């Protein structure tokens, strides 16, 4: 994984430094993928429907569905990780083995396939009442990806799987390949949160 300020590239798991402590928080991931321009926004519902066909999550599973796109980027939250965790994950990736979502730290994350340049992934975390993590793609809710319960201190996180730059059969040079920029400042949000109670994550300063 490569980090530059709030931008993530390469492959691996990255967590923000600041935990989600407020009752309702929202942040965005802005996708930079120069080789794959965003689908034209021409109001054709069939295009959106085609993009959503492969998103079919069951919130009771461990995020490791059969038929899941192995190159889909994962978004959500994760618990704090130590150096031993990252070293173990690196070893698994180097050996070409597949780690479960619990092993790779993505159990509280969801894959979102078929991303394009300038796509916006919104993440809304609610902790009071019923803890819940909601996901949005370009402002549209992804109810199939909702996580309805979680416990413990969590941090905004993203996971770029090895080989993600080749997803969909489109070869992308790693030096100019996919990168993600996390945005915690509401003045720079491109989309609306799902409800007014979801404010920007407080005290966010960088990425681990």
pLDDT at residue number 36: 66
Instruction: Report the distance separating Cα 3 and Cα 158, nearest Å.
Output: 12
More confident residue, 151 or 158: 158
Does the pLDDT value for residue 27 go beyond 90?
Answer: yes
Tens-place pLDDT, residues 76-122: 999 887 666 666 666 655 655 555 555 668 899 999 999 999 999 99
Mean pLDDT score of the chain: 78
Q: Which of 13-17, 31-35, 48-52 reaches the highest mean pLDDT? A: 13-17
Helix (H, G, I), strand (E, B) or coil at 188: helix
Short-list 68, 36, 66, CA closest to 55: 68
Q: Is 42 exposed, middle or buried (0-12, 13-18, 19+ CB in 10 A)?
A: exposed
Q: What is the pLDDT of residues 35-56, one digit of tens each?
A: 666 666 544 554 544 444 333 4
Instruction: Indicate the range of 29-33, 164-168, 184-188 predicted with least confidence.
Output: 164-168
**118 Cβ contact partners less than 8 Å away, ≥ 6 residues apart:** 30, 31, 32, 37, 38
- pLDDT of residue 17 exceeding 80: yes
**48: Cβ–Cβ under 8 A, 6 or more apart, which residues?**
140
Position with higher pLDDT, 91 vs 21: 21
Greater pLDDT, 93 or 180: 180
Please tell me whether the overall predicted TM-score, pTM, comes out greater than 0.85 for this model. Answer: no
CA 170 from chain centre, in angstroms, equals 20
- Give the mean pLDDT of 148-155: 88
- State what percent of residues in the chain have pLDDT above 70: 65
List strand residue ranges (DSSP E) for the chain, in order: 2-4, 7-9, 12-15, 24-32, 73-78, 109-112, 120-126, 132-137, 140-141, 155-160, 179-183, 199-200
Task: Evaluate whether 180 touches 158 at the Cβ level (below 8 Å).
Answer: yes
Does pLDDT of 123 surpass 80? Answer: yes
């Amino acid at each position: 994984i490569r980090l530059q300020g709030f931008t993530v590239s390469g492959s691996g798991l990255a967590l923000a430094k600041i935990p989600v402590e407020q009752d309702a928080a929202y942040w965005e991931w802005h996708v930079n993928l120069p080789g794959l321009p965003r689908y034209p926004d021409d109001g054709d519902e069939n295009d959106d429907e085609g993009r959503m066909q492969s998103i079919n999550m069951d919130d009771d599973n461990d995020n490791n569905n059969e038929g899941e796109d192995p190159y889909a980027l994962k978004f959500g939250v994760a618990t704090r990780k130590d150096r031993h965790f990252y070293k173990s994950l690196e070893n698994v990736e180097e050996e070409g083995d597949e780690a479960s979502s619990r092993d790779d730290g993505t159990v509280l994350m969801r894959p979102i396939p078929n991303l394009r340049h300038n796509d916006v992934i919104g993440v809304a975390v609610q902790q009071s009442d019923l803890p819940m993590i909601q996901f949005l793609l370009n402002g549209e809710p992804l109810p199939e990806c909702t996580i309805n319960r979680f416990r413990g201190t969590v941090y905004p996180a993203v996971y770029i799987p090895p080989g993600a730059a080749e997803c969909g059969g489109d070869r992308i040079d790693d030096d100019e390949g996919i990168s993600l920029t996390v945005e915690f400042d509401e003045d720079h949000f491109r989309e609306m949160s799902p409800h007014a109670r979801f404010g920007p994550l407080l005290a966010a300063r960088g990425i681990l």
